[in-house]
């Protein structure tokens, strides 16, 4: 029997594939295949799988295909994933063929549970480092505590491995090598980092990118940042929030002249609280450009000629979400959930009310033949409007009230 593991070429995909490989039967052969999100995800899988099959003389009779941390595909015998945009049913699925749960921040938890349920004997223990799981959640689920935890944490073994993965994510051989190193070194990230070697050049590249990004980021009303990069020369993820801490969202456009498609990545500022809750970025990307992701992060691909128009549409939705966030939900007397007015709406309403009061006051003064410039006349006009007094009485009362003050 031969197993093919198709996995997403990011940190979570790599560590998830390594866990699966570790617990597959030792007497069975395996092949690894790293895949990246592109304009046509299903086509990408089909092409890579076809190449893998032809090079290794694979037949369907003796092969089982696993897809891990990636979109479902008809070629899969077994599918394990957690992306909300990839769900094929509303509820979670826990069968051997389809193991899906969008409530998990990372896929490694699902693979652990899958291995325990279907690959291991009841007496076997799954000894998975809890720290590895927590860092997979942080990295894939955007659960960092601060930008400093990303950009000033170069000695952290998980940050270092993630830097190596990001640098080599388009190199299939490197991705597969990392999976194998983790699987056959007991998922010991520190030991694997030592094998992979020094990454001083990656740290220097990251530090330089922080400087360059500040020069190239475009701010939209100080709430949304837009940054354009080349396919082969990416800025570090979250650099927008490290540079401008008060923005709500970052839009990253990755241009690829070879394919004619741009990748659009949108992420919410996970370090800013609160964030708009009435928009799901992953589902928005699925709707607008056949992409996907999670609630606070997502990406998709679009023809380069349509990028500008699509970004305009996306920013409209993001700004609407920010505006709606100011309208906090309240309860009416009948218990109905309604939205309070935004600050902008309040200013407009108060402006209209002030204008109406001014008009009403001027009308009362003019109607009763008094001057709007005299404080006595103004108070007299107010009393006339409230009580219906005659002009002379209202004037006398106004004078007495002003003299008392």
Residue 335 domain-assigned (yes or no): no
Question: What's the structural domain count of the chain?
Answer: 3
pLDDT, tens digit, 9 for 90 and up, residues 153-200: 999 999 999 999 999 988 999 999 999 999 999 999 999 999 999 999
Question: Percent of the chain, pLDDT > 90?
Answer: 55
Domain edge (last residue) among 289, 308, 329: 329
CATH number of the domain encompassing residue 223:
3.10.310.30
Q: Both 307 and 349 in a single domain?
A: no
Residue 339 has pLDDT above 50, yes or no: no
- Which residues, listed in sequence order, are joined to residue 253 by a DSSP beta bridge? 228, 264
Residue 222 structural domain: 216-329
Q: Both 51 and 165 in a single domain?
A: yes
Residue 303 domain-assigned (yes or no): yes
pLDDT, tens digit, 9 for 90 and up, residues 31-84: 999 988 766 666 767 777 777 766 666 656 688 999 999 988 888 899 999 988
- Rounded to whole angstroms, the Cα distance separating 57 from 29 reads 13
- Rounded to whole angstroms, the Cα distance separating 360 from 384 reads 12
The answer for 164, left when phi > 0, alpha when psi is -120 to 50, beta otherwise, is alpha
pTM of the model: 0.72
- Rounded to whole angstroms, the Cα distance separating 30 from 35 reads 16
pLDDT of residue 321: 94
Backbone angles phi, psi at 185, to 5 degrees: -125, 35
Q: Both 94 and 187 in a single domain?
A: yes
pLDDT of residue 365: 39
pLDDT, tens digit, 9 for 90 and up, residues 106-140: 999 999 999 999 998 776 777 788 999 999 999 99
Q: Both 305 and 398 in a single domain?
A: no
Q: Both 264 and 369 in a single domain?
A: no
Closest CA to 139 of 69, 237, 36, 235: 237
**Per-residue b or e along 250-286, where b marks 16 or more CB atoms closer than 10 Å to that residue's CB:** bbbbbbbeeeebbbbbbbbbbbeeebbeebbbbbbbb
Query: By the 8 A CB rule, do 6 and 49 touch?
Result: yes
Handedness of CA 218, 223, 229, 233 (dihedral sign): positive
DSSP string of 359-404, one letter each residue: HHHHHHHHHTT--SSSHHHHHHHHHHHHH---HHHHHHHHHHHHHH
Q: Both 221 and 309 in a single domain?
A: yes
The helix or strand, by DSSP H or E, that contains position 4, with its residue range, turns out to be strand 2-8
Q: Both 352 and 272 in a single domain?
A: no
Query: By the 8 A CB rule, do 239 and 230 touch?
Result: no
pLDDT, tens digit, 9 for 90 and up, residues 348-382: 555 555 555 544 444 443 444 444 456 767 777 77
- The whole-chain average pLDDT of the chain stands at 83
Domain edge (last residue) among 284, 305, 329: 329
Query: By the 8 A CB rule, do 395 and 377 touch?
Result: yes
């Amino acid at each position: 029997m031969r197993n093919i593991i198709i996995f997403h070429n990011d940190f979570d995909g790599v560590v998830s594939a390594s866990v699966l490989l570790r617990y597959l039967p030792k007497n069975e052969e395996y092949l690894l295949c790293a895949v990246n999100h592109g304009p046509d995800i299903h086509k990408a899988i089909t092409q890579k799988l076809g190449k893998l099959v032809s090079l290794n003389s694979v037949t369907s009779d003796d092969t089982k295909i696993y897809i891990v941390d990636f979109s479902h595909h008809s070629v899969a015998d077994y599918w394990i994933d957690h992306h909300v945009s990839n769900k094929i049913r509303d509820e979670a699925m826990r069968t051997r063929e389809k193991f899906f749960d969008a409530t998990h921040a990372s896929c490694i938890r699902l693979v652990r549970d899958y291995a325990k349920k279907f690959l291991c004997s009841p007496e076997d223990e799954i000894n998975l480092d809890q720290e590895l799981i927590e860092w997979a959640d942080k990295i894939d689920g955007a659960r960092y505590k601060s930008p400093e935890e990303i950009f000033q944490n170069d000695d952290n073994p998980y940050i270092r491995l993630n830097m190596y993965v990001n640098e080599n994510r388009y190199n299939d051989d490197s991705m597969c090598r990392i999976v194998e190193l983790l699987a056959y070194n007991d998922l010991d990230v520190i030991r694997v980092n030592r094998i992979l070697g020094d990454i001083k050049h990656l740290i220097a590249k990251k530090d330089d990118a922080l400087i360059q990004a500040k020069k190239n980021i475009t701010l939209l009303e100080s709430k949304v940042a837009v940054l354009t990069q080349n396919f082969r020369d990416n800025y570090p993820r979250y650099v927008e929030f490290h540079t401008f801490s008060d923005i709500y969202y970052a839009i990253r456009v990755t241009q690829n002249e070879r394919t004619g498609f741009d990748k659009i990545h949108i992420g919410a500022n996970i370090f800013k609280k609160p964030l708009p809750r009435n928009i799901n970025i992953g589902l928005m990307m699925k709707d607008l450009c056949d992409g996907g992701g999670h609630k606070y992060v997502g990406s998709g691909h679009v023809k380069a000629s349509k990028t500008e128009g699509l970004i305009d549409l996306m920013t409209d939705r993001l700004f609407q979400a920010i505006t709606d966030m100011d309208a906090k939900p309240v309860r009416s007397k009948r218990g109905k959930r309604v939205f309070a007015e935004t600050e902008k709406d309040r200013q407009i309403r108060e402006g209209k009310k002030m204008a109406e009061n001014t008009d009403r006051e001027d009308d009362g003064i003019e109607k009763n033949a008094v001057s709007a410039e005299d404080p006595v006349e103004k108070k007299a006009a107010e009393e006339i409007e409230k009580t219906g007094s005659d002009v002379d009485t209202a004037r006398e009362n106004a004078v007495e009230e002003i003299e008392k003050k």
